Amino acid sequence: MSLKTRVLEMMGTVITLSIEHPQAQLLLDYAQSMLEDFQQRFSANQNDSDLMKVNAQAGIKPIKVLPDLYELIKKGRDMGISSHSKLNIAIGPLIKLWHVGFQDARVPTDNEIAERLSLINLEDIQLDDENQTVFLKKKGMEIDLGALAKGYFADELKRYFKTQGVRSGFIDLGGNVLTLGSSSKNPEGVWNVGIQNPLKKRGNLVAVIKNCDQSVVTSGIYERVLKIGEKQYHHIFDSQTGYPVENDVASLTIVSDQSLDGEFWTTILFHESSRKILNWLNQMPQVEGLVITRTNEILISEKLKPYVTLLE
């Protein structure tokens, strides 16, 4: 049985879904409808999405949402609080102020940044478990699930495919790769997941990770950039300063069982230096990773090393 593939342009990226199954096209149709539904409800860039309905009522009233959106908001808020806001789903006002990756991107003034920083306190997201409502206490607040959503979507797609009996395939949501079972194309039975060189144009790989039934999430400073003269600003922000994170990290790849965990750890660890990230990874039992520095040094956690082939 051969892989059947569906390529979609959605969510600001190229999505590739490939599975082996007798009714592969029917399953891919349903998976596409799942993604369209997620985009419609979870997007911070569509004014009529369920999430934006919550944002539109900031400082006014609580909004009831469907259970899956409620749970992701709750998980994001709780993980953010535990990470001291290194992951911050309330960061919407700051993201839209800079708008890195969009045509109207610009460097804001210090006063503008200070004003937005007052609107990104996670404690100001009020949740009601019984009524499944979300209330943003201050007018102007906005939730942005961009740091978690693709991971959640990937995990949900994998769960659906598995319930339908898919034993081999992969999901690529642009930086979020999730493999299902083993690869029938590879004699070793593994999937080869390429890692982009963050210092070169897209398509230039620096490494390949052998992967089987796991998630590979990569985040980097090359994905969306605002260039002003010689200065470049990337899209990964520090909730304390209001500016993009400043350190020696160009990209960070996390290998884990769940894609949502990969999203969580790439976001949180990206705030640290490359050496500190490596130390963390070597102490974490269920997460592995690879760091590429701005000087093109590659650091790999000990348990991941046997599965990485360097290409340069």
pLDDT in tens, 277-306: 999 999 999 999 999 999 999 999 999 999
pLDDT value of position 229: 82
Does residue 1 have a pLDDT over 80?
A: no
Gap between the Cα atoms of 37 and 25, Å rounded: 18
**CA–CA separation, 85 and 55 (whole Å):** 19
Cβ atoms of 288 and 310 within 8 Å: the answer is: no
Report pLDDT for 201.
Answer: 86
Determine the average pLDDT of the residues in 185-194. 92
C-alpha distance from residue 95 to each of 48, 119, 120, 121 (Å): 19, 12, 10, 14
* Rounded average pLDDT over 98-126: 95
Q: Could you tell me the domains of the chain?
A: 4-24+148-310 (3.10.520.10), 50-136 (1.10.3980.10)
What is the full DSSP assignment across 97-149? HH-TTSTT-----HHHHHHHHTT--GGGEEEETTTTEEEESSTT-----TTTH
**Rounded distance, CA 83 to CA 239, Å?**
11
Give me the helix-helix angle, 274-283 and 259-269, nearest 10°.
140
Task: Summarize pLDDT for 26-68 with one digit per residue, the tens.
Answer: 999 999 999 999 999 999 888 899 999 999 999 999 999 999 9
pLDDT of residue 257: 97
pTM: 0.94
Kindly state the average pLDDT of the residues 304-312: 94
User: pLDDT tier at 127 (50, 70, 90 boundaries)?
Assistant: very high
**Is 204 in a helix, a strand, or coil?**
coil
Residue 195 in contact with residue 206, Cβ under 8 Å? yes
Instruction: Give the per-residue pLDDT at 299.
Output: 98
